[in-house]
Amino acid sequence: MFVKGVNLGNWLVLEKWMSPALFAGTTAEDEYYLPRQLTREAYEARIKIHRSEYITERDFCTIKAMGLESVRIPVPYFVFGDREPFIGCTEELDKAFEWAKKYGLTILLDLHTAPEGQNGFDNGGICGVVKWAQNPKEVEFELSVLERLAERYGKREELWGIEVLNEPLTEAVWDVMKIWERYQPVDEEMAKGSAPVQMEFLRQFYMDAYDRIRKHMPKEKYVVIHDGFDLTAWKDFMREEKYVNVVLDTHQYLMVMESMGCEQNLEAYLKCIEENFAEKIEEMQQYFPVICGEWCLFNSLACGYDTKGGTNVLTGGEKRDGEIVAADEKKKIYQALAKAQLDAWRRGSGYYYWSYKLLLDTVNEAGWIGWDSWDMGRCVDFGWLPKGIL
């Protein structure tokens, strides 16, 4: 088994930095506060237009033409429309499955958010709050969502698998991520008591989720678990015979390596990719099929300045109006990093690029220079990610 795919990020789970215009006229930094700062009518109109235009049938055709085989679709905990004030998105998912069928693609459904937050990131739905794991009622709700997803889509031929939970923030990286600095909460009282997701809890949650999903999803489909940013901690997990076709998902970004001390030059990046990505994936591949469910080409070297682990634009830091790195040099950097990272993922069982597209004006809007490398379509078009190496 080897899967080659791309994430449909910012389609059904919003991330402000990927499409700032969606949040225009509000101070909201995440999906939790957006509907709370718009009228019901304005919110519904904005979301429905976004969903209908951001990803269409044409995109599935394009993804297939890129040489890819699969899409990872982040979905929110309110996917079934049962959590006010949010709007469900099963209608869009149903369409996606038909498009996948038409163009010969598979789908990895990824439960990307949790009520009260599993990581405190903007992509977790609410900034600066990590309390979901402490609330048994919401833990059970998340399990019910997974079960309903399996019931609705588990037997679809196009389904590759279901990912139990995206990026639960464990103690392993709690201090490195510094969410209290990068993703400050709007409501300090709500954020009070936020804490890392305990590994013991996470293991039990994964086992419970497996049982709930497998009730409705055939064993040839994959149940995907995220490593909680601690890739080598899972060697003794799910060794029993009952657990079949479990895939371990790891997310590896160069900007995180930078924040952990990797020097911002090509030689250092390549060394980090080999030692931190490739070797660890190869090691864990003995225990699970390992996929890199999120990665990209973004790095400070190609941007021409220290992005502080990808935080500068997000936190209103250093902004620039013009390119620093020449186009030819940038292309060389990206191509070298693309080859090295793809070689690393081949030590495992596949990958999904983050992300298929984003709506940023890197030309006219100061501060976004270099961020187009998050957009796989642009990377392919510019030759940074040549189709032949995917």
- How many domains does the structure of the chain reveal? 1
Query: Which CATH number covers residue 8?
Result: 3.20.20.80
Question: Each residue of 189-215: pLDDT tens digit?
Answer: 999 999 999 999 999 999 999 999 999
The pLDDT assigned to 364 comes to 87
pLDDT at 366 over 90: no
Task: State mean pLDDT over 138-149.
Answer: 98
The pLDDT assigned to 320 comes to 67
Long-range (24+ apart) CB contacts under 8 A made by 97-102 are 97/153, 97/156, 97/158, 97/159, 99/57, 99/60, 100/60, 100/71, 100/158, 101/157, 101/158, 102/57, 102/60
Q: Tell me which residue range forms the domain holding 267.
A: 3-389
Question: Each residue of 147-159: pLDDT tens digit?
Answer: 999 999 999 999 9
Number of continuous H segments (helices) and E segments (strands) in the chain? 14, 8
pLDDT at 314 over 80: no
pLDDT at 319 over 80: no
CB contact at 8 A, 243 and 289? no
Q: Does 260 or 329 have the greater pLDDT score?
A: 329
**pLDDT band, very low/low/confident/very high, at 187 (cuts 50, 70, 90):** very high
Q: Write the DSSP assignment of 27-62 as a string of letters.
A: ---STTTTTTSS-HHHHHHHHHHHHHHHS-HHHHHH
Strands (E), the chain: 3-7, 70-75, 106-111, 159-163, 222-226, 246-251, 290-294, 350-353
